[in-house]
Amino acid sequence: MTQAFDRRMLESLVCPVTQAILTYDAEAAELISKAAHLAFPIRDGIPIMLVSEARQIE
Mean pLDDT of residues grouped by 10 in the chain (58 residues)? 63 92 92 97 92 96
Query: What local confidence, expressed as pLDDT, does residue 9 receive?
Result: 73
Q: Which amino acid is at 10?
A: L
Residues 6+ apart with CB under 8 A from 44: 2, 3
Domain segments of the chain: what residues?
7-56
Query: What local confidence, expressed as pLDDT, does residue 1 receive?
Result: 40
Among the CATH numbers 2.40.30.10, 3.40.50.12780, 2.20.25.10, 3.30.70.100, which is that of 7-56? 2.20.25.10
